[in-house]
Chains A and B, each alone.
Chain A
């Protein structure tokens, strides 16, 4: 069944290439091909996750590979939902490479299906990890939009341009969604930690980095809502924030041992 996973990975890559080609050449055909490819890859990816879930007898989000796979799937899903709502190509240009990069990271992780540790057998498992996947997905697309925004700016687009404003606004809305979900992640994790480890907060590296990420996004939102920062500055903040998200997601597991070490 690994073939489904790798087919999805190749599909995401091809979709990203077509999407970029379409954007660069300003032609519709490669973009259509990209969307079709993404849809097929997304279906294959979903099929793989479903198979894995059935084989493991649980929701497939229990280790670094499964979480990365879920994160990539959530990124593609969110990309589709946003594209369906606003019908703007630049949404896909940001979402596709993000999904591909995250799934590439998953490809380097051990894939064997293992029984989960007793500490992970909790009713909070799905809410905590599922909301983390969607929260990170929202942040990843927001970061991707930040990169797109800066590229467009470099290409000579004006910040007052409608498309640029929409890109900036959507990035902000995604951060709002991600921030709300990250709050759910932290709180559901706190309640779960209290049940499993008897303390709702232990300054474990994963908790600490989730808090750091949360504070950074809180600062982002204050700058946006109170100081009315927009455009280039927000794009940079969204990109820096994604680096924090990536560290919280992967760096902590690799470099900072702690209570979440079973997530490796």
Chain B
């Protein structure tokens, strides 16, 4: 058991795990992930596809062995952090002691000594008087660099996994002027949506009003890509957009009128027998010399000449018709006036704990700071005696060595 634990906490184990994560990531980036089985069959042939699916290579980042690697990596980081922590705590004291005891390596005369001490003071070295001279030290925090780096990787893995795994995500569409009610009663109303800004530049933006279930809290905000709305533990993103047809239905018997949005095929009728069956909305059309229409089916173009494909159903007779904005169809006492289409937003509504995000972002910041400490704030001690000095550091101090040599005019040799 001890042997196993020793291996798991070792750097060798950490390196093996990193190499395995790297290789699996490589495979995961080269093999398309989470596609339909047929795509693998077409791309690799039936046998290879079957093998890839069986070993989970088609969804490699969600396989048990990928999770197992992550868990082992966390374990490796926890154990090596536990082992490293007492050493890290003691390191500064040990190096200070070592510096106090250190004999001078490089000779120093009175004037050069002054120069050296002045230089170290200007560079913000901490001064501690010691027998026969002084100990100048800097960057004691650098001792924590490596420990904090490993700890922050662990935190990133933990918080990152929780943030990815715990949220409740819903992709919903909301038509301008209408509202959505979420599971806890919170309502999201889309006041406006536009796909271009006032200068004509693409800008997918929705003006939303979110109200808590008890009506006590309300927030209105324009959301766009990169600017989600935060409301309690909800985060609402501008995710996609679509184009919906609109039809005004007028009942001539009672004068009632209603505008309906058309997003999916539907049958618009009062009696359930006669009415309009809405099939699709097309962005444009081409008309040849004989007056035949060819509909443009690509939805990536703007809806410049929208056409509604509909069927009228009257007394059991079905007729296919193309309707253009402002066209009116009258079936008995009901008339259908097709209007210009409108864009509507697709929202992603995420419910996730804010403290998890806080933890993740804290881990990011901690890791950057820890790496800085690790690489650019190496602890350094300069033991200055009456007639000599020496530099001590757990890391290479070639830069400082050269600086000091240049300062006191020492002949350059191999550092």
Q: A residues engaging B (CB < 8 A)?
A: 115, 117-119, 121-122, 160, 162, 165-166, 169, 173, 176-177, 179-180, 183-184, 187, 190-192, 194-201, 203, 205, 208-209, 211-212, 215-216, 218-219, 222, 226-227, 252, 256
A63 to B: closest C-beta gap in Å: 16
B364 lies within 8 A of A219 (CB)? no
Contact across chains for A222 and B225 when beta carbons are under 8 A apart: no
> Is B297 in contact with chain A by the CB < 8 A criterion?
no
Assess whether B18 is in contact with A117, with CB atoms less than 8 Å apart: no
Instruction: Give every chain A residue within 8 A of B155 (Cβ-Cβ).
Output: none
| A contact residues around B361 at 8 Å (CB) | 191
Which B residues contact A (CB, under 8 angstroms)?
Answer: 11, 14-15, 18-19, 21-22, 25-26, 28-30, 33, 61, 160, 163-164, 169, 201-204, 224-228, 235, 237, 239, 348, 350, 357, 360-361, 364, 367-368, 371-372, 375-376, 396, 398, 414-415
- Could you tell me the dominant secondary structure of chain A's interface residues? helix
In the bound complex, what is the Cα–Cα distance between A118 and B350 (angstroms)? Answer: 21
A-B contacts besides A183-B368, A191-B364, A218-B18, 11 pairs, CB < 8 Å: A115-B202, A118-B203, A165-B415, A166-B398, A194-B357, A201-B160, A205-B29, A208-B25, A208-B28, A209-B29, A219-B18
Inter-chain contacts of B414 with A (CB < 8 A): 160, 162, 165
Chain B residues, Cβ within 8 Å of A184: 368
* Given known contacts A117-B202, A180-B375, A195 and B61 CB-to-CB distance under 8 angstroms: no
- Contact A115-B376, Cβ < 8 Å, known A183-B367, A196-B226, A198-B169: no
Contact B160–A200 (Cβ < 8 Å):
yes
- CB within 8 A of A198: which of B160, B201, B228, B398? B228
A205 to B25, CA, bound (A): 9
CB nearest to B201 among chain A residues: A115
In the assembled complex, the Cα of A260 lies from the Cα of B345 at a distance in Å of 22
B33 touches A203 (CB 8 A): yes
B29 contacts across to A, CB distance below 8 A: 203, 205, 208-209, 212, 252, 256
A180: which of B372, B396, B398 is its contact (CB, 8 Å)? B372
Q: How far is the CA of A169 from the CA of B372 in the complex (A)?
A: 18
The reply to whether A179 and B25 contact each other, CB–CB distance below 8 Å, is no
Our pick among B164, B225, B376 for the contact of A200 (Cβ within 8 Å) is B164
Q: Give the distance in Å from the alpha carbon of A117 to the alpha carbon of B22 in the complex.
A: 31
List the A side residues contacting B376 at CB < 8 Å: 176, 180
Residues of B within 8 A of A198 (CB): 169, 228, 235, 237, 239, 348, 350
Given A118-B226, A119-B226, A200-B360; A212-B367 close (CB under 8 Å)? no
